[in-house]
Amino acid sequence: MNHKTRTSLWAWLWVIIGALYFFVPMYGTFDFSLRMIKGQISLEAYRVIIGDPLFQEAIVFSLEMAVITILISVILFVPTTYWIHLRLPKLRPVVELITLLPFIVPTIVLVFGLIRTYGGPPFSLTNTGETTNILLVGGYLVLSMPYMYRAIDVGLRSIDVRVLTEASLSLGSSWWDVILRVIVPNLRVAILSGALITFATVMGELVLADFLVRPALGPYMVEIGKDRVFEPAALTIFSFAINWAAMGLIAFFARGGTAQQITGR
């Protein structure tokens, strides 16, 4: 139709505005992070960060927590979602409602409740670092649950779970075999997507770690932000790079997955 050219101009305008909104802050931050040494472009800010023992402790801690969270969430959510698909389809709307709960209960409220419920006697989980980590991982699991569930749910819907299970069982495999050898391999992309989103979430999370006083990356960034100027910018780029890598890997494995897989909504 002949008004296509006019639409395209209008379209380009908004594309450029959108792109600018995305890129200017990122570019600005990147530029800023290179200016630690006055008058020259250098990676000094990054060197300082990487050399900081507190940073190393923080990133190791966050990585550990991320891995633990991912492992538990896969072991917990994959069989559950599979089971619901197969045996309790009536529960699906209930579970979908449950995946909305982390949104209804914002993280700040969640951490409040966790501390209040388990902080004092009889649990006293906030008394030591290790026991507090239980709450931390629990919180991370709650945060990542919607994304994980959605990713696996989408994956399960794209394969005919019932038929595969019945075929496998009729050929003589046990339940574990079915899960490990038939279902999980078909869910590889879904699980990977969920895992990567969880990873990015945990690495960038602040509220839980801060209020539970654990040495994660988030609280470290807050500390650095208090009186340094260039290092925070470097940390931002670093954090952004983690997110980018995670999303990039998801896109690579999913080969053009849907927006739902990316945002988990």
Partner 1 sequence: MAQSKQTPSLLSTNPSKPKSSINLSWDWLGVLPFAFFIIVFLILPSSRLITDSFQDAHGNFTLHNFVMLFEDPLIVKAYYNSIQISVVTSLIGGVLGFLVAYAITIGGAPGWVRTGLITFSGIAANFGGVPLAFAFIATVGRTGFLTALLNMAGFDIYDQGFSLYSFLGLCLAYNYFQFPLMLLTITPALESLRKEWREAASNMGASTFQYWKDIAFPILMPSILATMLLLFGSAFGAFATAQALTGGTLVLASLLIGTQIRGDTMGDANLGYALAVGMVVVMAFTIGLYALLQRQTSRWLR
Q: Distance between CA 26 and CA 29 in Å, rounded?
A: 5
**Token pair recorded at residue 204:** 């960038």
- Minimum CB–partner distance for residue 39 and partner 1 (Å): 14
- Minimum CB–partner distance for residue 234 and partner 1 (Å): 9
- Minimum CB–partner distance for residue 185 and partner 1 (Å): 21
Q: Distance between CA 248 and CA 13 in Å, rounded?
A: 27
- Minimum CB–partner distance for residue 201 and partner 1 (Å): 7
Assess contact for 190 and 253: CB atoms under 8 A.
no
- Minimum CB–partner distance for residue 73 and partner 1 (Å): 10
- Minimum CB–partner distance for residue 7 and partner 1 (Å): 6
**Token pair recorded at residue 126:** 């906030």
**Token pair recorded at residue 145:** 């649950």
- CA quadruple 8, 9, 14, 20: dihedral positive or negative? positive
Encode burial over 187-207: b for 16+ CB neighbours within 10 A, e otherwise.
Answer: bebbbbbbbbbbbbbbbbbeb
Half-sphere exposure of 3 toward its Cβ, with a 13 Å CA cutoff? 2
Assess contact for 61 and 214: CB atoms under 8 A.
yes
Is the Cβ of residue 50 or residue 229 nearer to partner 1 in the bound state?
A: 229
Is the Cβ of residue 155 or residue 218 nearer to partner 1 in the bound state?
A: 218
